[in-house]
Structure 1
């Protein structure tokens, strides 16, 4: 028996893509007009998962460089910096770009050496005069405005919602104007130091750069990208409703534009039933019996590993607006967890099943990445309580928004009852921005949808 699907309708696919592209282009042009010609010192752009943040940054960088303004780009990790430089150098091969890096051994991706006009250096003086210079916020913080002949006329801050406000304070004196681009639905900035003493203050260093920026500059132009090119039509409505109720977005493809199918017939196992449900609808919840378990629940870990093994054994194929059929290989599958010990347990379980090449990581480290199929261990699975960490909206948003075709959730039963029994007990502080939707609402919305795709 072979799992089959209907073929995409080329005319319908083209019409859907054209409508989405028109909306995305209009939004991008409005953003660039504010950046290039507006009188504000900052422009904020909210972007849902897979809406083309990097594409916008690359396009804005090219347009700014074309005006003759020197540009500094701030990203949050070295991987983000290297990806940006590679993308920008590919799009504009004749544009000189500086990659400011640390003095560590192997401080940047060697792929940058393939670009003739990319100049890497640990010293800013070596990059003087280049039209574009890119580095992490941590590296830029070592540059002192007092040591500069003049500030950069323009900056772009990428993944601005992942940047703490104290990091923005450290670099804010280096530039005159800035474009801030990021995803408000992702995880809040991470801090190893408690920040309760600043809660509710407009300069709380633990809040995101955008939150603090808007608290002090409420009149700055705010834009949003309206189309997700990653999430399929089966996922975009749920993710938009559950995590972005006030900034809704749509999928860039229609319901018939992407297909996941398998050439090997299923076995009569829960893992196979979950795989088939996900292939048909884009979602599946593989639900284990209700129980309070250790964090590295052996049965749940085994179930995650079994699903991944069956995805590979059944020789999956994907078809999309990019073409196909394309084999569903291990590098196009990811497993997401809430904790590092859970990820380690999944890796060990996959190793016993002779599975290699599948990405297994926490939500924090999966941010910004994209796969064809994701398998996630629900953060509240098997828990006796619902803590603020496990209820954090951004954690579930990241886990459920990495896929292009299907997402399979593995969880113990009983989470809705757990949520009802443990309403939020976080203190409400005057002046602190209230995040909507909260984790309770987001979890209930996702679980209500998954209830229609449950395999027990």
Structure 2
């Protein structure tokens, strides 16, 4: 009799990888451990669990995050997981503690390490840690390490002996508003991510990959994995049919039809006529706002492993590439949709919604610049949803990509980045083309 092996469940596979990470923290002789994570794979959960494990050893721990929002979010998660664990929040002098920080039963806020009273866990942004000149910690956890520039890591490296680096390699790379060509090709190029430079100089460091996305549904994980994570891949923590999005009223417009397509398949493409436009395309902005408003007016309902709930404005997000596009979309929202989140890809990183609407970065453009082609930007925009994503774009993007091959210079000593922006965009378009 043939015995068919049982496939490992998503929860079991994820637990096995997390156990391996914690085991490396306890036994590995290396000074660092790297954990790569796809969107929604539980990076923050891993950080909180690792913090609890390391703090239980009695050795003080420092946590480095990239933004104040990330710091406050981690403090809230630490408070929920281990309310008895004392936490020190390094902050600016004029920082006003958010409600999440105030709700932590054992959190103390201070502008200097000496003001915190030596807690087991001290947490702050990379910029704040760079101002600390005294003291060392046996362990550090660097959250969202792929968002951190390598020079920022260099400024805090003297503060810890060993570190856990956690981040998403598919998200946006560090960026700068000044010319950076003078460093291009150098192994310590400050515009590379902290993890990229770390691994170039320490190629033997153990690297783990979280294998399951708990955010992306079964309809999205294979698409996002193929387009943006071609060599590592991941799977959804849920199966087909585990999550549903439905509307109480039938479709009466093309916007409604795009929403119904997305509700049924997880993806939708609302395609506008081909035309070159200014960056703040009024028709595209109105379509994005109209989709969000229609989803609310039609009485959307979501069902998932978390239960059944109404689709409310705070669970809908609209993403765009530029701030002026964000402003144009926000101005088109009706009063009942004012609580819909409208923001750029940079500011949507790490956030999660039930339904997202995306204004494609290449919509209406005459050229395909490096900024608009960056795979991380499209990855962030198309990986924020738990149920469905609708992309708004003018026709002709595929032809634009074919007509504008890469003209970016090739530099010696610069590792080739995967996925390529052209390839990632074509992969997404190939899937969306059947869902117009």
TM-score w.r.t. length of structure 1: 0.93
Residues in 1 aligned to 2:176 and 2:23: alpha-carbon distance in whole angstroms: 35
Match in the other structure for 1:432: 414
Match in the other structure for 2:161: 176
What pairs up with 1:15-34 in 2 under 5 angstroms?
19-34=9-24
Residues in 2 aligned to 1:19 and 1:370: alpha-carbon distance in whole angstroms: 23
Match in the other structure for 1:392: 374
Pairwise CA distance, 1:439: 0.6
Match in the other structure for 2:319: 336
Pairwise CA distance, 1:129: 2.4
Q: Does the alignment pair 1:56 with 2:46?
A: yes
Counterpart of 1:121 (choices 80, 88, 110) is 110
Q: Does the alignment pair 1:46 with 2:30?
A: no
Residues in 2 aligned to 1:408 and 1:342: alpha-carbon distance in whole angstroms: 17
Counterpart of 2:341 (choices 359, 365, 382) is 359
What pairs up with 1:294-333 in 2 under 5 angstroms?
294-324=278-308, 326-333=309-316
Residues in 2 aligned to 1:105 and 1:241: alpha-carbon distance in whole angstroms: 42
Match in the other structure for 1:143: 132
What's the secondary structure of 2:9's corresponding residue?
helix
Pairwise CA distance, 1:355: 2.2
Match in the other structure for 2:101: 112
Pairwise CA distance, 1:278: 0.4
Q: 5+ residue gaps in structure 2?
A: 1-5
Residues in 1 aligned to 2:174 and 2:264: alpha-carbon distance in whole angstroms: 36
Higher relative contact order (CA 8 A, sep 6+): 1
Asked if the contact 2:55–2:120 (Cα under 8 Å) also holds between the matched residues in 1, the reply is yes
Residues in 2 aligned to 1:201 and 1:363: alpha-carbon distance in whole angstroms: 28
Q: CA 1:377–1:167 in 2, change beyond 3 Å: closer, same or farther?
A: same
**What do you get for the CA RMSD once the two structures are aligned?**
1.2
Pairwise CA distance, 1:128: 4.1
Residues in 2 aligned to 1:60 and 1:238: alpha-carbon distance in whole angstroms: 30
Residues in 1 aligned to 2:332 and 2:294: alpha-carbon distance in whole angstroms: 14
Pairwise CA distance, 1:301: 1.0
Pairwise CA distance, 1:297: 0.7
Pairwise CA distance, 1:117: 1.1
Residues in 2 aligned to 1:386 and 1:90: alpha-carbon distance in whole angstroms: 45
| Length, aligned pairs only | 431
Residue by residue over 1:151-177, the C-alpha shift from the partner in whole angstroms, topping out at 9 and shown as x without a partner, is 200000000000000100000000000
Q: Does the alignment pair 1:37 with 2:27?
A: yes
Segments of 4+ in structure 1 off by > 4 A? none
Counterpart of 2:206 (choices 211, 221, 238) is 221
What pairs up with 1:417-456 in 2 under 5 angstroms?
417-454=399-436
Pairwise CA distance, 1:354: 4.5
Counterpart of 2:365 (choices 378, 383, 408) is 383
Residues in 2 aligned to 1:250 and 1:189: alpha-carbon distance in whole angstroms: 26
Residue by residue over 1:83-119, the C-alpha shift from the partner in whole angstroms, topping out at 9 and shown as x without a partner, is 101101110011111111111141x313322222111
Residues in 1 aligned to 2:287 and 2:115: alpha-carbon distance in whole angstroms: 53
Residues in 1 aligned to 2:336 and 2:105: alpha-carbon distance in whole angstroms: 41
